[in-house]
Structure 1
Amino acid sequence: MGLAGATPAAASPVLWEKPGALGAPRVAGLHLQFGSDASREVVVSWHTIASVSRPRVLLGTPAGGLGRTVAAQTTTYRDAKSGTEVQVHHARVRGLRPDTDYVYAAVHEGAQAEFGTIRTAPRGRSAFTFTSFGDQGTPTLGKKNDSGIYVNDNLGSPAAGDTTAGVERIAPLFHLVNGDLCYANLSTDRVRTWSDWFENNSRSARHRPWMPAAGNHENELGNGPIGYGAYQTYFSLPDAGADTELHGLWYAFTAGSVRVISLNNDDVAFQDGGNSYVHGYSGGAQKRWLEAELAASRANPGIDWVVACMHQVVISTADKFNGADLGIREEWVPLFDRYGVDLVVCGHEHHYERSHPIRGQQSNDTRTPIPAATDTQTVDTTKGTVHMVIGGGGTSAPSNQLLFPTPQCRVITKVGPADPATGKRPPVYVLEDAPWSAVRDAEHSYGFAAFEVDPGRPGGTTSIHITFYTVTGPYGDLVPVDRFTLTRPRGNHWRQLASVQGYGASSRPCAKAPPLACEQGHGCAPYVVGRIHVAATVSQRTATSVQRMGVEYHSLAKPFPRVGDMFTLLA
């Protein structure tokens, strides 16, 4: 969906435009998204029900006024339940400067302009803050009952407004929404529910990109070929090269030295949680993209941190709730391990908890994650990936009161046959102990996390200081509940072994080492992972440094059968 480019305004800077005839639809649900280059490109979006003329954005600087016009492209979907056609207007603003403030007004003919601000992402290592929560809902009542009284039918609560106010107290560069945005697929009026969600959050999202991951409650019966037609229309997200019907369901962007990767877990999760069961819908396309994206991120000298944003979870210690999903553990976690993903933020479980850094899995029925360290205050993410469940964005069905007294996890290992009456496939659970559990919050139902990125100094370490806040009222009053720090070597130690190459041109295999092959047994070309026994041709000093870097290694060369062959390693 290409958008029209920018053209200079013919007149002097315009601050606003006079409303036209009564009845023109207003600019509703104003929100931002980063473009493919978050330091230079932002998309400004809003929606209407009726058609409008000349949707556009007026852009400028705080000091210079609005002197540039960017035309918007209109995309539509027709809600299958109500028959209502929704028009969403996306103005792609290109050619911006990194780490710079702008002002803008969104307008179409006959409407009063709505104003917002833009802060582009920094390019290169810089300090900034982002925030995250999932499972928000709306603070409104969207359904009339038989008595004509409005009631809640989309799991919303007043807290869905409180958390937005809390995010604005932090004023982050961007906000990650970890799925289940508004639960429109549960509501009688899906279009109204989406509109209510944007109206609640526009006070924040018009000033900073709200970057979403699609959750199971974004899957709406009849809306689009897979069910995400509404979500895909309301948001214009960075292009991941996917087919048109998959556009926007996974994507990535970079802010400073942080690469954010957004995934749609319905593709791999076993749980039947949407309006339709779409397990495996991409035919492996998302997984292929993810591995290529992770490999490219770890090969990029400007990327220190890799953060995954998704909905369904790898870890949860809530009883009688959704639970963890074996499908995600089988499909995503080995890739997170292989490429050293630092942090995963998710929702789905409506409480807050986090894991120890995990690396590897037990060979049991649930593929239990293995904790690599147990310090809960300072976590070295070169040892493993930290998973955070941040699902208290505002839903009226919190799970913080359902935590197992001693950490355990219910894992969905498969689904049963579809129920003839409902068509739903019931989950089959296996209970596991949870040695990976680090911190859980049983006291607070609602909150979000803030992530302060500290780029550090050359040759040193870089850190992300994380605070989980609970929100105590409608004005965004915040109380810190959990604080900890992620740390890793600056400059991405995954490339430090690039110089440890050419262990010798000899074709003789090391007598003590097995052939280097994928431990999962499926090739992994062009990347090969294996446990390496350092051959005698390597100096003791090099061997020691290699062994200290860890046990999993990845080759940039073609698959090789012997340790003695020439290759380049990434640790």
Structure 2
Amino acid sequence: MKKVKLLLLTLLLPILAIAQETQPAKKPVTKKRGPLMGIQADLLRGPYLQMATPTSMTVRWRTNVYDRSRVKYGLSADSLTMRTDDSTLVNEHIVTLKNLKPSTKYFYTVGNLADTTLQGDAENYFYTFPETGSEQLVRIAGFGDCGNNSINQRSVRDQVVNYLGDKYLNAWILMGDNAYSDGTDAEFQAKFFNLYKDNLLKKYPLYPVPGNHDYHDFNSSPANDQNKIAYYQNFSLPTQGEAGGVASNTESYYSYDIANIHFLALDSYGPDKKGTHIYDQMGEQVEWVKKDLAANQNKKWVVAYWHHPPYTMGSHDSDKESLLVKIRENFIKTLEDGGVDLILCGHSHVYERTKLIKGYYGKEADYDAKKYEVSSSTALYDGSKNSAPYLKSKTKTNGTVYVVSGSAGALGGHKETWPHNAMYYSNNEVGGAVMLEVEGNRLDLKWICSDGKIGDHFTMMKDVKKDEEKTLMQDKKLTK
């Protein structure tokens, strides 16, 4: 009997094989699941954009399970003809798109290697940065002390979006205290990523710096190991000069270029590898700042930003708080001597703005307008009396404007001597964010408030012709 069964099986196998070969080919089925059988990979965070340059963009997102990464992209939303894959199983997805064209709009989706799209629609797009040195118009928004999940945070966000309308924002920066109160990953999720995911994070590349609250990640006490706090886990930052500037070899501080602007993003709270801080002249960060400024003298504009301000009488007192005193007395001269045009800080939950000043490193009572103001103009450039723009030369270190903008979330407070004597304009009643608009030799800063108004603004120009300077000093506007 066994021999009969074996004979029948031998005869049937070729027939079955022929039948299988003659079946019509089935179309491949696109799997809709992640690598763990039966578990769908769901999007928990993002997408958000990092480390933008004229020819590259880094896209990040987080999933609930480990999955492989795919970004599909193209020049129109319905034709995503390019893709970048990463076969590594991760739940923190970091994909860098390379060989892009400058000043070009790209649409994109994020997903996995099974071609599942986790997120992507016609509103998923970005523009690469203009070529370095370009004089075309660029916009950069600045948010200070934003991550507290408040009504004010939402109002400021919405008014920035309203201001933009259909205009593009080339980048946005954070001036620290990005997730209250301790900078934990859960706080970053609830108070930062969830609030900005739909209208800012997926369109506009982000360049942040940390504040003191971002360092309170380990059991609500300052973290000793910088690289393990949530801030450094959540952001991808240029350390090797890949976005412009001198390599810093650390994510604590770095630099980058947008068109004809050079930015320095600094850490005013955490220690460097040697245990020194931003105010230590022999520290690693200060040494790097000096090298970076020296290497970028050819840039039309230089902007530096960090968390702790050298001058404020808002919710913090720059006369009495030792960190602020040390920054003012020991550090900012380095930036002024290096030709920095604008310094942006947060920490104090107000808005404050100086005129164009230089050489003032003392207490509030020491401020002497005649001695320290390079220009007495308001720089409003609106036709009012004494409103000419601040005029500078690219080859001279003639003054810096200091702005405190720490009310994009947290709001209010003031010290006894509010407003600070060095400030032209101060406001602790409404929140806001700054909008920097730069085109060629003109820089404009606007403070966009939570009520939709522009609370303050000023204009700075560089290397204007003599006849143009004469017109400007008569409080008249230049005609193009």
Shorter-chain TM-score bucket reads 0.7 to 0.9
Give 1:376 deviation, angstroms. 1.4
Q: Take 2:376 and 2:216, find their aligned partners in 1: how far apart are those partners?
A: 41
Question: What SS class does the counterpart of residue 290 from structure 2 fall into?
Answer: helix
Question: What SS class does the counterpart of residue 265 from structure 1 fall into?
Answer: coil
Tell me if structure 1 keeps the 8 A contact 2:241–2:256.
no
Partner of 1:100: 104
Q: Cα distance 1:106–1:490, how it changes in 2: closer, same or farther (>3 A)?
A: farther
Q: Which residue of 67, 80, 94 corresponds with 2:81?
A: 67
Give 1:73 deviation, angstroms. 8.6
Report the AA paired with residue 120 of structure 1: T
Question: What SS class does the counterpart of residue 328 from structure 1 fall into?
Answer: helix
Q: Which residue of 48, 51, 56 corresponds with 2:63?
A: 48
Q: Which residue of 371, 379, 388 corresponds with 2:390?
A: 379
Report the AA paired with residue 488 of structure 1: K
Partner of 2:144: 134
Percent identical across equivalent pairs? 23
Give 1:290 deviation, angstroms. 0.7
Larger Rg: 2
Q: Cα distance 1:335–1:49, how it changes in 2: closer, same or farther (>3 A)?
A: farther
Q: Take 1:371 and 1:318, find their aligned partners in 2: how far apart are those partners?
A: 21
Q: Which residue of 467, 487, 497 corresponds with 2:461?
A: 487
Q: Take 2:377 and 2:313, find their aligned partners in 1: how far apart are those partners?
A: 19
Question: What SS class does the counterpart of residue 289 from structure 1 fall into?
Answer: helix
TM-score (norm 1): 0.62
Tell me if structure 1 keeps the 8 A contact 2:355–2:424.
yes
Give 1:165 deviation, angstroms. 2.4
Partner of 2:172: 175
Indicate whether 1:122 and 2:117 are aligned: no
Report the AA paired with residue 96 of structure 1: L
Tell me if structure 2 keeps the 8 A contact 1:98–1:120.
yes
Partner of 2:293: 294
What pairs up with 1:434-473 in 2 under 5 angstroms?
434=421, 436-444=422-430, 446-455=431-440, 462-472=441-451
Give 1:221 deviation, angstroms. 4.5
Partner of 2:194: 199
Indicate whether 1:113 and 2:110 are aligned: no
Give 1:313 deviation, angstroms. 0.4
Partner of 1:237: 237
Q: Deviations over 1:323-381 (max 9, x none)?
A: 66122123431111111100011110001111111211357799969332221122234
Question: What SS class does the counterpart of residue 446 from structure 2 fall into?
Answer: strand
Partner of 2:329: 330
Q: Cα distance 1:74–1:137, how it changes in 2: closer, same or farther (>3 A)?
A: farther
Q: Take 1:348 and 1:320, find their aligned partners in 2: how far apart are those partners?
A: 8
Q: Cα distance 1:71–1:402, how it changes in 2: closer, same or farther (>3 A)?
A: same
Report the AA paired with residue 76 of structure 2: P
Partner of 1:522: none
| Structure 2: gaps of 5 or more residues | 1-29, 380-388, 466-480
Question: What SS class does the counterpart of residue 468 from structure 1 fall into?
Answer: strand
Q: Take 1:23 and 1:17, find their aligned partners in 2: how far apart are those partners?
A: 10
Give 1:239 deviation, angstroms. 1.8
Q: Which residue of 305, 309, 318 corresponds with 2:305?
A: 309
Question: What SS class does the counterpart of residue 327 from structure 1 fall into?
Answer: helix
Structure in which a larger fraction of residues adopt helix? 2
Partner of 2:476: none
Q: Cα distance 1:249–1:362, how it changes in 2: closer, same or farther (>3 A)?
A: closer
Q: Cα distance 1:345–1:53, how it changes in 2: closer, same or farther (>3 A)?
A: same
Partner of 1:146: none
Question: What SS class does the counterpart of residue 233 from structure 2 fall into?
Answer: helix
Q: Take 1:229 and 1:161, find their aligned partners in 2: how far apart are those partners?
A: 25
Indicate whether 1:39 and 2:54 are aligned: yes
Give 1:452 deviation, angstroms. 1.6
Report the AA paired with residue 139 of structure 2: T
Q: Take 1:333 and 1:213, find their aligned partners in 2: how far apart are those partners?
A: 17
Q: Which residue of 12, 18, 41 corresponds with 1:24?
A: 41
Q: Take 2:364 and 2:404, find their aligned partners in 1: how far apart are those partners?
A: 23
Q: Cα distance 1:161–1:17, how it changes in 2: closer, same or farther (>3 A)?
A: farther
Report the AA paired with residue 375 of structure 1: S
Report the AA paired with residue 285 of structure 2: Q
Q: Deviations over 1:383-439 (max 9, x none)?
A: 3110111111112xx23x42545644xxxxxxxxxxxxxxxxxxxxxxxxx3x2211
Give 1:267 deviation, angstroms. 4.5
Q: Take 1:304 and 1:100, find their aligned partners in 2: how far apart are those partners?
A: 23
Q: Take 1:308 and 1:63, find their aligned partners in 2: how far apart are those partners?
A: 36
Q: Which residue of 211, 216, 219 corresponds with 1:215?
A: 211
Indicate whether 1:259 and 2:262 are aligned: yes
Q: Which residue of 236, 247, 257 corresponds with 2:250?
A: 247
Q: What is the RMSD computed on CA atoms of the aligned residues?
A: 3.3
Tell me if structure 1 keeps the 8 A contact 2:129–2:258.
yes
Tell me if structure 2 keeps the 8 A contact 1:304–1:490.
no
Greater shift, 350-359 or 324-333, is seen at 324-333
Q: Deviations over 1:277-327 (max 9, x none)?
A: x763997111111111111111x2xx2100112111011122665766122
Q: Take 2:439 and 2:50, find their aligned partners in 1: how far apart are those partners?
A: 23
Partner of 2:95: 91
Question: What SS class does the counterpart of residue 239 from structure 1 fall into?
Answer: coil
Q: Cα distance 1:280–1:63, how it changes in 2: closer, same or farther (>3 A)?
A: closer
Question: What SS class does the counterpart of residue 88 from structure 1 fall into?
Answer: strand
Q: Cα distance 1:217–1:322, how it changes in 2: closer, same or farther (>3 A)?
A: farther
Tell me if structure 1 keeps the 8 A contact 2:329–2:361.
no
What pairs up with 1:263-278 in 2 under 5 angstroms?
263-267=266-270
Report the AA paired with residue 450 of structure 2: V
TM-score (norm 2): 0.73
Indicate whether 1:161 and 2:171 are aligned: no
Tell me if structure 2 keeps the 8 A contact 1:131–1:450.
yes
Tell me if structure 2 keeps the 8 A contact 1:34–1:42.
yes
Q: Deviations over 1:253-292 (max 9, x none)?
A: 11110111100011489xxxxxxxx763997111111111
